[in-house]
Amino acid sequence: MPVEPGVLGSFAEPAAAARAVRALRAGGFADVRVAMPAPFPEVVAAIGKPRSLIDFITFPGAIVGLLCGIALTVGTSLAWPLVTGGKPIVSVPPFVIVIFEVTVLIGSLTNLLAMSAGTWHGGRARFFPAHQKFNADRIGVFAVGGEPARAERLLRESGAEEVGRVG
Amino acid sequence: MTDPSEKALGRRTFLRIAGALGVVAGCSPKAATQKVIPFLVPPDDIVPGTPLYYRTVCRECPAGCGVTARTREGRAVKLEGNPEDPIGRGALCARGQAGIQALYAPDRFKGPMRRGADGRLAPVGWDEAEDALSKALVAAREKGPGAIRMVTRPEPGSAGAFQEAFMRAVGGAAEDRLVLDPFDPAPLRAAGEALFSRTEIPVYDLTRARSIVSFGADFLETWLSPVEYARQLAEGRGRVGEDRTRLTWVSPRLSLTGYSADGWLRARAGGELAVALGLLRWLADPANGVPGLAPEARALFPRLAALDPAELSRRAGVPWAGIERLGRELALRRPSALLGPGQSSQGPDATQLAAVIMLLNVALGNLWQTVYYGLDPQEDPPSPFAEVESLVADMAAGRVQVLLVHHADPAGTLPAALRAGEALGKVPLVVSFGDRPDPTTSRAHLVLPDHHALEAWGDVTPRLGVVNLCQPAMTPLADTRAAGQVLLEVGAKLPFPAAHFPWPDFYDYTQTRAQMYAMVALGKFPDLMAIQRDALQRGGYWSYQLPARKEMPDLLRGAAERFLSLPPSPPPEGGDLDLVVFPTVLRGDGRGADLPWRREVPDTVSSLSWIPWAELSPATARRLGVATGDRVSVTTSAGRAELQAYVYPGLRDDAVALPLGGPEALAVLPPVRDGGSGAIAFRSARAAVARAGRGKPLPILEGSPYQHGREIVRTVSAAAPALRRPDLSHLMYREPEHPTHRWGMAIDLDRCTGCQACVVACFAENNVPVMGPEAASQGRYMGWIRMERYLGDEPGGELEVNLLPMLCQQCTNAPCEPVCPVYATYHTAEGLNAQVYNRCVGTRYCSNNCPYKVRTFNWRDAQFPKPLQMQLNPDVTVRSKGVMEKCTFCVQRIRYAENQARDEGRPVRDGEIVPACAQTCPAQAIAFGDLHDPGSRVSRLAGEKRGFGALEELNTRPAITYLARVREKEEP
Amino acid sequence: MSLSFERLQATVRATHGRPGRGYWILLSLSAALAAWGGWAYSLIVRNGLVLTGLERPGGWGNLITDFVFWVGIAHSGTLISAILFLFRAKFRTAVYRVAEMMTVFAVMTAGLYPIFHLGRPWFAYWLFPYPNERGIWVNFRSPLIWDVFAISTYFIVSTVFLLVGVAPDAAALRDGATGWRRKLYGLLAFGWRGTDEQWRHYTRAYLFFAAFATPLVVSVHSVVSWDFAVSILPGWHSTLFPPYFVAGAILSGVAMVIVILVPLRRWLHLEEIITPHHLDMLSRLVLLTSLIVTYSYSTEILTALGEPASDPERSTFLYRMTGDYAPLFWLMVTCNCVGPALLLSGKVRRSIPAIFAISLLVNVGMWLERFNIVVTSLAHDRLPFDWRVYTPTWVEWAMTFGAFGWFFFWFLVGLKVLPPVSIAEMKEDLAHAAHASGEVAHAG
Amino acid sequence: MRVLPAAAASALAGALALLAACRAPPPPEQPIRFSHRIHAGDNHIGCTSCHGYAERGPVAGIPSMARCQGCHKFVKEDQENPAITAEIKALLQKLEDGTAVEWVRVHRVPDHVFFTHERHVLGGVRCQECHGEVERMEVMRQVSPLTMGWCLECHRRKQAEKPLERARLTDCWTCHK
Average pLDDT, chain C: 89
Residues of D within 8 A of A76 (CB-CB) are 5
pLDDT of residue B30: 41
Domain B577-691: CATH class, spelled out: mainly beta
Q: Count how many pairs of residues, chain A against chain B, have C-beta atoms within 8 Å.
A: 35
pLDDT of residue D7: 58
* Model pTM score: 0.92
Instruction: With CB atoms and an 8 Å threshold, state whether B50 touches D57.
Output: yes
Residue B259 — pLDDT band, cuts 50, 70, 90?
very high
Q: Chain B closest CA to D176's CA: distance in Å?
A: 7
Q: How far apart are CA D32 and CA D39, in angstroms?
A: 14
Average pLDDT, integer, range C253-262: 92
Q: How far apart are CA B767 and CA B662, in angstroms?
A: 27
Instruction: With CB atoms and an 8 Å threshold, state whether B820 touches A87.
Output: no
Average pLDDT, integer, range C299-309: 93
Instruction: With CB atoms and an 8 Å threshold, state whether A78 touches D170.
Output: no
Q: How far apart are CA B411 and CA B425, in angstroms?
A: 10
Chain C residue closest to B950 (CA)?
Answer: C383
Interval C197-221: pLDDT, tens:
888 889 899 999 999 999 999 999 9
Residues of D within 8 A of B837 (CB-CB) are 112, 176
CATH topology of domain B113-179+379-463+465-542: Rossmann fold (3.40.50)
Instruction: With CB atoms and an 8 Å threshold, state whether B822 touches C138.
Output: yes
- B341 upstream amide cis, omega within 30 of 0: yes
Nearest CB neighbour to D111, from listed B23, B740, B902: B23
Residues A138 and A93 reside in one and the same domain:
no
Average pLDDT, integer, range B327-349: 94
Domain B715-726+736-966: CATH class, spelled out: alpha beta
- Measured CB to CB, residues of chain D less than 8 Å from chain B are 28, 52-53, 56-59, 61-67, 98, 100-105, 108-112, 114-116, 118-119, 122, 164-165, 167-168, 171-174, 176-177
Share of chain A above pLDDT 70, in %: 98
Chain C residue closest to A40 (CA)?
Answer: C428
- CB proximity under 8 Å: B 657-676 to C: none
Q: What is the DSSP string of B89-121?
A: TT---HHHHHHHHHHT-TTS--S-EEE-TTS-E
Average pLDDT, integer, range C25-44: 96
Instruction: With CB atoms and an 8 Å threshold, state whether A78 touches D1.
Output: yes
Residue B15 — pLDDT band, cuts 50, 70, 90?
very low
Chain A residue closest to B737 (CA)?
Answer: A86
Establish if A1 belongs to a structural domain: no
CB B190 within 8 A of CB B351: yes
pLDDT of residue B550: 58
pLDDT of residue C2: 44
User: HEC states along B48-80?
Assistant: CCCCEEEEEECCCCCCCCEEEEEEECCEEEEEE
Answer yes or no: is pLDDT of C273 > 90: no
pLDDT of residue C144: 96
Instruction: With CB atoms and an 8 Å threshold, state whether B813 touches A83.
Output: no
Nearest CB neighbour to D9, from listed A71, A74, A79: A79
Q: Report, in angstroms and rounded to the nearest whole number, the Rg of chain D calculated over CA atoms.
A: 19
Average pLDDT, integer, range C224-231: 95
Instruction: With CB atoms and an 8 Å threshold, state whether A76 touches D2.
Output: no
Average pLDDT, chain B: 91
CATH code linked to domain C53-392: 1.20.1630.10
Instruction: With CB atoms and an 8 Å threshold, state whether D171 touches B33.
Output: no
Share of chain B above pLDDT 90, in %: 82
Q: Chain D closest CA to A96's CA: distance in Å?
A: 17
Q: Chain A closest CA to C146's CA: distance in Å?
A: 6
Residues of A within 8 A of B826 (CB-CB) are 82-84
pLDDT of residue B522: 66
Residues A136 and A102 reside in one and the same domain:
no
Determine contact: A79 vs chain D, CB below 8 A.
Answer: yes
Q: Chain C closest CA to D139's CA: distance in Å?
A: 28
Determine contact: A64 vs chain D, CB below 8 A.
Answer: no
Instruction: With CB atoms and an 8 Å threshold, state whether D152 touches C131.
Output: no
Q: CA nearest B213: which of B263, B158, B149, B166?
A: B263
Interval D49-80: pLDDT, tens:
999 899 999 999 999 999 999 999 898 888 88
Instruction: With CB atoms and an 8 Å threshold, state whether B954 touches C232.
Output: yes
pLDDT of residue B524: 62
- B867 upstream amide cis, omega within 30 of 0: yes
Interval B562-605: pLDDT, tens:
899 999 887 777 789 999 999 999 999 999 999 999 999 999 99
Residues A73 and A107 reside in one and the same domain:
yes
Answer yes or no: is pLDDT of D21 > 60: no
Answer yes or no: is pLDDT of C438 > 50: no
Least confident of B341-350, B402-411, B515-524: B515-524
Chain B residue closest to A94 (CA)?
Answer: B818
Determine contact: B814 vs chain A, CB below 8 A.
Answer: yes
Interval A53-102: pLDDT, tens:
888 999 999 999 999 999 999 999 999 999 999 999 999 999 999 999 99
Answer yes or no: is pLDDT of B105 > 80: yes
Question: CATH homologous superfamily for B187-372?
Answer: Dimethylsulfoxide Reductase, domain 2 (3.40.228.10)
Least confident of B40-49, B536-545, C51-60, C232-241: B40-49
pLDDT of residue C423: 78
Q: How far apart are CA B570 and CA C293, in angstroms?
A: 68
Q: A155: domain range?
A: 6-52+127-166
B926 pairs with which residues across the strands? Answer: B747
Residues of D within 8 A of B765 (CB-CB) are none
Residues A116 and A102 reside in one and the same domain:
yes
Answer yes or no: is pLDDT of B725 > 50: yes
How many domains, in total, are found in chain A? Answer: 2
Residues A109 and A151 reside in one and the same domain:
no
Q: Chain D closest CA to C123's CA: distance in Å?
A: 16
Instruction: With CB atoms and an 8 Å threshold, state whether A84 touches B957.
Output: no
Residues of A within 8 A of B735 (CB-CB) are 86
Residue C95 — pLDDT band, cuts 50, 70, 90?
confident
Average pLDDT, integer, range B547-564: 77
CB C103 within 8 A of CB B829: no
Residue D6 — pLDDT band, cuts 50, 70, 90?
low
CA distances from C421 to C3, C13, C268 (A): 14, 10, 11
Average pLDDT, integer, range B546-564: 78
Distance of CA B69 to the CA centre of its chain: 18
Those chains having 3 or more beta-carbon pairs within 8 angstroms of chain B are: A, C, D
Instruction: With CB atoms and an 8 Å threshold, state whether D152 touches C134.
Output: yes
Answer yes or no: is pLDDT of C326 > 90: yes
Answer yes or no: is pLDDT of B849 > 80: yes
Q: How far apart are CA A36 and CA C430, in angstroms?
A: 14
pLDDT of residue B778: 94
Residue B11 — pLDDT band, cuts 50, 70, 90?
very low
B548 pairs with which residues across the strands? Answer: none
Interval B397-424: pLDDT, tens:
999 999 999 999 999 999 999 999 999 9
Share of chain C above pLDDT 70, in %: 96
Q: Which helix (H) or strand (E) holds C35?
A: helix C21-47
Residues of A within 8 A of D170 (CB-CB) are 80
Answer yes or no: is pLDDT of B396 > 90: yes
- What sign does the dihedral B646-B650-B653-B657 (CA atoms) show? negative
Instruction: With CB atoms and an 8 Å threshold, state whether C208 touches A108.
Output: yes
Average pLDDT, integer, range B112-117: 94
- CB proximity under 8 Å: B 802-861 to C: 804, 806, 815, 818-823, 839-845, 847-849, 851-853, 855-861
What is the residue extent of each domain of chain B?
113-179+379-463+465-542, 187-372, 577-691, 715-726+736-966
Nearest CB neighbour to B819, from listed C55, C143, C385: C143
Answer yes or no: is pLDDT of A1 > 70: no
Q: Chain C closest CA to B563's CA: distance in Å?
A: 46
Nearest CB neighbour to A82, from listed B734, B816, B823: B823
Q: How far apart are CA B148 and CA B176, in angstroms?
A: 7
CB B112 within 8 A of CB B129: yes
Those chains having 3 or more beta-carbon pairs within 8 angstroms of chain D are: A, B, C
CB B621 within 8 A of CB B686: no
CB B298 within 8 A of CB B371: no
pLDDT of residue B521: 67
Q: How far apart are CA B224 and CA B226, in angstroms?
A: 6
Nearest CB neighbour to A49, from listed C129, C196, C212: C196
Q: What is the CATH number of the domain that holds A29?
A: 3.30.70
Distance of CA B679 to the CA centre of its chain: 22
- CB proximity under 8 Å: A 43-82 to B: 80, 82
pLDDT of residue B319: 96
Chain A residue closest to B816 (CA)?
Answer: A85
Nearest CB neighbour to C120, from listed B788, B819, B882: B882
